[in-house]
Amino acid sequence: MWLQIKRTIKFAINNIAHNYWLAIATIGSIAIALFIINVQIANLMANNLLLEDIQNKVNISVYLKPEVNDEAGREIARKIESYPEVEKVNYVSKEEAFEKFKKDTANNQVLQEALDEVGDNPLGITLNVKARNSEDYPKINEKIKQDTFQDKIESINYEEYKGIISNLNEEIRSSQKITIILAVILSLIAVLITFSTITITIYTHRKEIEIMKLVGGSNFFVSAPFVWEGIIYGVIAAVISTAASYGYLQYIIKNSSDGSLLSLSSARFIKQFLETYLIRNWAIIILSQLLAGIFLGVTSSLISIRKYLKI
């Protein structure tokens, strides 16, 4: 058996060497498909990290009017905390808010002077509301606005975050869709190209195949070289695409400068993604690349063999 495997691999390598331009085109097309899929997935994962990060930081800050006292403030906090969507409410008293404000504006001369002028604490109680799920913020926002204590609210800062969160959610959802569609289309193209390459190989070796069958070559022996050919294409393409994807992601990290949302996700979070996720899971990633490459190669060979080898 081992001898047969060795021989069929030898035949496969001969076949590839015989038609190396075709081989290069085939490997290239599988590699490009895998590369684009990789970059899409990396981008998607980086966006997820970004979203997670923002979700952890985001909350709705409810500023109560200055005249609302501590007791009424705590009552409102309890009420908001009883919403099923709310994870917790962080209560910031007037004094804490004032201290924090003073600290934050310590090097702003004008504000410091203005505070001295007022003398009293002009700030109200702040309630920092954290949702269980970032998608629930609009709902919580509406609930707070319509609750019985709405006349005690000075303002809610939700609107500033609203844009970012919904944009991000949308971006992630659409890039998920794009990733899936791209993956399917590119895989199909790669399979088609590999399929035609192997069909050409079968065609150019039809005499050899005829003789193999005539002298009693087993079905395994006759078809195995073409399966190996597909595997070899897949493996080489996987190696190339892994290296290319890694290089490309590194390049993005180094070269993204503007602070747009996309480059934020593409740079900082791709970096995080590379450093934490990729490096920790390199074995799984390389393995999955190889499997994806082999899958594409072998699928194409099998279709071609079924169609043209009549085994």
Partner 1 sequence: MIKYHKVSKVYSRQDKAVLKDINLEIQEREFVTLVGYSGAGKSTLLKMIYAEERPTSGDVYFYKTKINKLSRRKLPKHRQQIGTVFQDYKLLPQKNVWQNVAFAMEVAGKSEEEIAEDVPQIIDIVGLKNKSHKYPEELSGGEQQKVALARALVNRPKILVADEPTGNLDPISTWEIMQLLLKINEYGTTVVLATHDKDVVNRIARRVISMDKGKIIKDDAHGRYCI
Residues found near partner 1 in the complex (CB under 8 A): 3-4, 7, 207-208, 210-219, 221, 311
Q: How far is the CB of 225 from partner 1 (least distance, A)?
A: 11
Q: How far is the CB of 233 from partner 1 (least distance, A)?
A: 22
- Which amino acid is located at 14 in the chain? N
User: What strand order describes the sheet that includes 153-156?
Assistant: 86-92, 126-131, 60-64, 153-156
Contact indicator for 188, 46 with CB cutoff of 8 Å: no
159 vs 210, which CB is nearer to partner 1? 210
Element (H, E) at 267: none
Q: How far is the CB of 227 from partner 1 (least distance, A)?
A: 16
Question: Per-residue DSSP letters for 135-203?
Answer: GGHHHHHHHHHHSTTGGGEEEE-HHHHHHHHHHHHHHHHHHHHHHHHHHHHHHHHHHHHHHHHHHHHHH
66 vs 217, which CB is nearer to partner 1? 217
Angle at 162 between CA 263 and CA 51, to 5 degrees: 45
Please give the Cα distance from 60 to 160 (Å, whole number).
10
Q: How far is the CB of 203 from partner 1 (least distance, A)?
A: 15
Angle at 80 between CA 77 and CA 83, to 5 degrees: 150
15 vs 47, which CB is nearer to partner 1? 15
2 vs 103, which CB is nearer to partner 1? 2
88 vs 213, which CB is nearer to partner 1? 213
Q: How far is the CB of 222 from partner 1 (least distance, A)?
A: 8
